[in-house]
Amino acid sequence: MGEKGRIVDLPLEGALKGGKGRIVSRSWDSLDEGLDIITHDFTSVCFNLPPTSKDCLVIGFSCGGDATTKIGLLRRGQRIWDTYEYDNASFRPGSPSPVLFNGMYYVLGIRGNIGVFDLKNQSWEIFVERFEPEFVDSLCQSYLLELDGELVAVFFSIHNQVYFYSLDLTKMVWHSRTSTGDKLLYVSYTSAFSRRATVKGMSNKIYFPIFSGKNSVFYSLRTKRFHSFDADHPNKMRELRLSTWIEPSFERHGQLIW
């Protein structure tokens, strides 16, 4: 949602919304509902339920910069956020998209550490699991998402290298992974999710908001290389930073009016 409550409607799955009001694939529509909501400078937001649910809650996060973490809660029908602030001296987010998992909200830190927000108790805790400085310095993007009942992270380096890890929740440590199983992953600066591959040969791949010419680019964990549908070794790759993967689930536009 933008400043005027703009809602983007994508009727089909797997579409990538570009930052200049255009859809890279498939068609779209937009509605302006003019929501009169007091805004905050949250760097990321997420939903606890689909926005069509009457019990939907929006959670906003703002981490880093002033040594605090600010977390806001906005329930459907509210016009004022409930906000909480926590000491944040040792945490800077690496992934802007929080992930709701087993009732907790997880935020991936820039050094591989994890911030966890307990909605029930309004508590915020940071679990420190840091990678080597050389590895961290090479990273330019990181993404957190759920995959088959686990939290996994995708890291993208300045050298166009991709690293894939899963989080051991009992010890809060990362373990390297080499496969997504029968799933494929969609990751972008503002969203990341996994879906079962419905076409043979499409599993074990990660789709980034990256293009080579007019063709989308994906990373294969099997070959450990980037590919596109017209080239095994795409060149002149460009990233759409102001974009997001969207999977609509609403049946009528009225469900999106808050």
pLDDT digits (tens, 9 = 90+) for 150-179: 999 999 888 888 999 999 999 888 999 999
CA distance 79 to 82: 10
Q: 112-164, pLDDT tens digit by residue? A: 888 999 988 989 998 877 678 788 788 888 899 999 999 999 998 888 889 99
The predicted model scores a pTM of 0.76
Cα dihedral across residues 17, 23, 25, 27: positive or negative: positive
Distance CA 205, CA 240 (A): 19
| pLDDT surpasses 60 at 108 | yes
DSSP one-letter code for 136: H
222, 204 contact by CB (below 8 A): yes
- d(C-alpha 223, C-alpha 204), whole Å: 10
Instruction: Indicate the helix (H) or strand (E) that contains 137.
Output: helix 133-137
8 Å CB contact between 132 and 144: no
